[in-house]
Amino acid sequence: MTTLSSTKRRLIRILVLILPLAIIIVPAQKASRTFAQTPPTQDRPNILIIMTDDQSHDTLTEQFMPFTKSMIADQGINFTNGFMSTAVCCPSRSSFLTGKYARNHGVHINKDSLTETTVANRLQAAGYYTGLIGKYLNSWPGDARPEYSYWACWKNGYVNPSMNIFGENKTVDGYLTYILRDYALDFFDKVPAGQPFFLLWTPHAPHGPATPAPGDENLYSDLPLWRPPSFNPVAQSDKPAWLANTPQLTPRKISGDDEFRLDQLRTLHSVDLAVRDLLNKLRDQGRLDNTLVVFYSDNGYFWGEHRLLHKNRVYEEASHGPFALRFPPMVSTPRTEDRLIQVIDLAPTIYELAGVPMPGDVDGRSLVPLMQGTGDWRDAILLEGWPGVKNDDDEATGASRDKTAAHYQALRTEQYVYVVTDNDTPELYDLKADPYQMTNLVNDTHYKKTVKKLSKRLKKGQF
């Protein structure tokens, strides 16, 4: 019988101790190399876009939306000059989805269909878990779209609304804004582990008929009447013919609009509570500080200024909206920003933050340099619009076209807005001296050079 030498026995004992460690160590080294070559998707930011419907630019306040203001605007950037290039629902929403002006994406009025590839398509292809909860486009019937992993689309109604849930049409019991909130909370729970998300959360409020949530029907009943200097003017002969010939609002219309304004503000209360709940959920999940949160409205709204109601006009009340974002990795110190931004800037911002290649045909600019404090920024934007119907809410029912409307385009700088309406009088307003756009300066000799300069820029597309 052969026996092992003491030296061989010692070698065997050493190998028995070392081999298990080698088996453990080698796979760990391979895993480490793989991890370094392919960064995890959870390092990319989540994106939450909160888009209201027909919200006036001066209503993101402590009085009307305290949680939204304190949790987004006061913790990030509050943009005082945020604009919607086309001040009506479907064109504006299409500009968000494409990063393009309406003249380039082709959706001019609410019944036009969007056929372009959208930010949701590209984010889903890049590995994002995507969701649409709320209103999509006026021209879309509500059916589920494949670029959204999660689909809960509003179709009609504030109370017990008609919705399309994952492709199934149904009536959902409850009040719309809180229903949409609950779907969003469910969306956050369903995001797969390690996967970034993109959620477009679009409550119908404060769009007409602006039905307040149960219990909110009497909010703000003692609020002063809305009577800015531009309210229902007696004369505006310096304006284009379509506006100069628009009749003054009757006492009956004024009374109805006063009540409608209160209802719009009342519907924002439930939106504000829902925003609070969504952000608290993300905080509880540990996701909030890695989420770009944007709050804005698809367009503003007229409450009697210039004798106008509704939207789809060039003036500040319709084209200027609330606009704020929160993203601590880039905006650690809250601030107010007065430089000009547009809805078309959101898609490029999302592409840059998500690491998705920027399409070559976007018109907007990424807000990332502005978030980082750049001094180099645009000094003008384009505003444009096409004739729709007098009340675009009735467009689906075949309401007659607004005969007073005409296509317009405008160059808006920090100080001026120069407007050209087809076959009508052009307009120039000095917004620092005349923020309510009461006096048309286009024929004022003191502004002749300004008119010439802005007209030239508008014709050449220098915006």
Query: Do residues 435 and 229 touch, judged by C-beta distance below 8 A?
Result: no
φ and ψ at residue 4, rounded to 5 degrees: -80, 140
Model pLDDT, residue 26: 31
Q: 3-state DSSP call for residue 15? A: helix
**CA-to-CA separations, 329 to 44, 79, 288, 292, 334, in angstroms, rounded:** 11, 18, 11, 9, 12
- Flag whether the pTM goes above 0.85: yes
Identify the structural domains of the chain with CATH numbers, from first to last. Answer: 43-378 (3.40.720.10)
Max Cα–Cα distance, the chain, nearest Å = 122
C-alpha closest to that of 164 among 140, 199, 181: 140
pLDDT (0 to 100) of residue 399: 39
Q: Residue 43's pLDDT is what? A: 81
Residue 362: pLDDT above 60? yes
Q: Residue 169: what residue type?
A: N
Q: What percent of the chain has pLDDT over 70?
A: 87
Average pLDDT over residues 245-271: 97
Rounded to an integer, what distance in angstroms lies between the CA atom of residue 161 and that of residue 142? 13
Lowest-confidence segment of 90-94, 266-270, 395-399, 455-459 by average pLDDT: 395-399
Q: What are the structure tokens assigned to 81, written together? A: 């000059």
Q: Taken in order 315, 56, 377, 123, is the CA torsion positive or negative?
A: negative
Q: Give tens-digit pLDDT for 10-46.
A: 443 434 333 333 333 333 322 222 222 323 455 899 9
pLDDT at 406: 85
Per-chain mean pLDDT for the chain: 90
Tokens of 368: 């990332």
Give dist(CA 334, CA 322) in Å, integer. Answer: 16
Q: Which residues pair with 134 in a beta bridge?
A: 153, 202
Q: List, for residues 367-426, the tens digit of each pLDDT value.
A: 999 999 999 999 999 999 998 655 555 443 333 445 567 899 999 999 999 999 999 999
